[in-house]
Amino acid sequence: MHILLSNDDGYLAPGLQTLMRRLREISNVTVVAPERNRSGASNSLTLERPLRVRQIENAVYAVDGTPADCVHLAITELLDRPPDMVIAGINAGENLGEDVLYSGTVAAAMEGCLMGCAAMAASLINTDNVAEYGVAAGIVCELVERSIAQGMPNGWLLNVNIPCESRGTLVTRLGQRHREATSVVQSDPRGQPMYWLGPVGPPGLDAGPGTDFHAVANRYVSVTPLQTDLTAFAQMEEIGQWLTTVY
C-alpha cells in the first residue's frame, strides 16, 4: 500500500507530521506538500511560473506551489507509479459545507481523484489541543484500513471532519452556512483602502440531521462522499426547454 500525503498548511504542519508518522505504521508514505501555508488555494494550479521542489528528507518533498500543484507533480513526475491512495491533511480546522469549494486540503485530495486515485481529505474541528491530532490520525488510519479491506475504488473522494472526543462515524451530505461572510477594511500608509477577507458565516442555512454540520456538532466523525462532476442534472431538462423555445 503506497499513500501520497499532502495538505494545504505546509509540510511542517503538525497535522501532516502526526498523520505521516501514523500512516507509516501501516503503509508506505510519500509526502509532497506546500513549503508554506496555502489555505484557501482551492483547486488552483500554478501556470504563470515554473515550480521548484526541495527534497527535505527521504520521501518528503516541499513544493513552492499550491496543494493541487503538489499532487499533480507527485503523480506525474516524482513517483515511479501512481499511489494507491491520496490523503490530504490533517487540516487545522473544519472543511464543512461550502468550505470544500475553497479548501486547499480538499483540492489536494480532489486532484488525486481527478488523476484516477482513491482519495481522502481529513480535517480536525478543534485544534486548540495539539494532542488531538494524534487521535484524529488514528481515526484516519482506521478509515484507511477499512477502505483497504473493502477495496475502495479509484475515483472515490471522501471528505472527513473529525471532532474532539467523537462518538462514532456517520455518512453525511454537505450542509450550507449562512451568507454572513464579511470583509475588514483598513488603510495602508498612503491612505489607500486594503481589505482582509473575513471569516465564513456560521452553519445554519442547512445544518440539520444528515448534514456534516449536524454530525460534528453532535461529536460524530463526518464522512461525506464527494464527486467532481458539478453538472446540475435536475435542471438539464428545464434549461433545454427554454433554450429551444421559439419566440
Distance of CA 52 to the CA centre of its chain: 22
Comparison of pLDDT for 15 and 89, the residue scoring more:
15
Residue 37 in grid coordinates: 501555508
Global pTM value: 0.90
Residues 68, 71, 73, 76, CA torsion sign: negative
Q: What is the DSSP letter of 153?
A: P
Q: Show the domain range for 225.
A: 2-174+204-238
d(CA 176, CA 200): 11
Q: Looking at residue 179, what DSSP letter applies?
A: S
pLDDT, one tens digit per residue, over 46-70 is 999 999 999 999 999 999 999 999 9
Is omega for the bond preceding 90 within 30 degrees of 0, making it cis?
yes
Distance between first and last Cα of the chain: 60
Name the band, by pLDDT with cuts 50, 70 and 90, for residue 169: very high
Which pLDDT value is given to residue 56? 96
Worst-scoring range by mean pLDDT, 47-61, 81-95, 140-154? 140-154
Assess if residue 125 is contained within a domain. Answer: yes
Is 123 within a domain? yes
Pairing of strands 193-197, 183-187: antiparallel
CATH code for the domain of 89: 3.40.1210.10
Is a pLDDT exceeding 90 seen at residue 33? yes
Q: What pLDDT sits at residue 180?
A: 64
Q: Which residue has the higher pLDDT, 63 or 245?
A: 63
Cell representation of residue 105: 486540503
pLDDT of residue 171: 96
Residue 179: inside a domain, yes or no? no
pLDDT in tens, 7-25: 999 999 999 999 999 999 9
Is residue 184 in some structural domain?
no
pLDDT of residue 147: 87
Those residues whose C-beta lies under 8 Å from the C-beta of residue 23, and which sit 6 or more positions away, are 3, 5, 29, 87, 137, 140, 141, 144
181 lies in some domain:
no
- In sequence order, which ranges of the chain are alpha helices (DSSP H)? 14-23, 67-73, 104-114, 132-150, 212-217, 233-243
Tally of structural domains, the chain: 1
Q: Which pLDDT tens digit goes with each residue over 176-212?
A: 887 666 778 889 899 998 888 766 766 767 778 999 9
Position 224 in a domain: yes
Q: Is residue 57 part of a domain?
A: yes
Range among 6-15, 36-45, 181-190, 225-234 rated most confident: 6-15
Predicted local confidence at residue 247, as pLDDT: 55
Task: Compute CA distances 33 → 142, 188, 241, whole Å.
Answer: 23, 33, 46
Query: Is 196 contained in some domain?
Result: no
Nearest 5°: phi and psi at 164? -75, 145
95-142: pLDDT as tens digits: 999 999 999 999 999 999 999 999 999 999 987 788 899 999 999 999
